Amino acid sequence: MAKKYDFLYKLLLIGDSGVGKTCLIIRLAEDNFNSTYISTIGIDFKVKTIEVGGKKVKLQVWDTAGQERFKTITTAYYRGAMGIILVYDITDDKSFENIQNWMKSIKENASAGVNQMLLGNKCDIEAKRKVSKETGEKLAKDHGIRFFETSAKSSINVDESFLALAGDILQKASKKPGPTGREVKITSRTERKSSKCILL
């Protein structure tokens, strides 16, 4: 049977517990949101096929548990990732401070030169904001990585950020100038699948 995609990109979301990693993936893969908080146990993934620069790219997005007790399990998945998405909660300054630790963990566990992106999630709750957009932007700039403020709840910048990262990976792989992720349109919202893979 012919493959339904040109490339398969493995992406990984990391960040403190409760910042909204699972909700971002559910918004991306199922265009849905649930305010009930069920903390991830171990690791899980969902897939979504998008079109980037005329190519069908299947995103396999791995959701890691933010809790410290799962660290040994989750860091084992860093090596196979082509893109790592660091997530903090704009209403929780501790989750932003911890991004430094998550970055350290990438250095220790991921492949050198892995594409990275920083997301400040929950930007729909402006009244409770603790981390300014400029602060987030500066950290990303200092590390030469992309930055978006997102809301899984209000569907702000979720598709856009994943498209941008996929565009970066594609461009890096082809090593020639191509369209940036921002310019690329999602052409498929139909192929959405999920799979559980809990390692406990």
Q: Which residues bind ligand GTP (CB under 6 A)?
A: 17-23, 35, 37, 39-40, 65-67, 121-122, 124-125, 151-153
Tokens 């199922």 correspond to 30
Q: Which of 6, 2, 12 has its CA nearest to residue 60?
A: 12
Q: Which of 150, 93, 78, 153 has its CA nearest to residue 118?
A: 150
Q: How far apart are CA 16 and CA 3, in angstroms?
A: 36
Closest approach of ligand GTP to the CB of residue 132, in Å: 17
Nearer to ligand GTP, 173 or 197 (CB): 197
Nearer to ligand GTP, 85 or 170 (CB): 85
Closest approach of ligand GTP to the CB of residue 44, in Å: 9
Q: How far apart are CA 30 and CA 35, in angstroms?
A: 15
Nearer to ligand GTP, 52 or 106 (CB): 106
Closest approach of ligand GTP to the CB of residue 111, in Å: 23
Nearer to ligand GTP, 39 or 111 (CB): 39
Q: Which two tokens stand for residue 152?
A: 């899984």
The H or E element spanning position 149 is: strand 146-149
Nearer to ligand GTP, 55 or 129 (CB): 129
Closest approach of ligand GTP to the CB of residue 55, in Å: 29
Which residues are registered as beta bridge partners of 10? 60
Closest approach of ligand GTP to the CB of residue 147, in Å: 16
Q: Which of 161, 131, 166, 158 has its CA nearest to residue 147?
A: 161
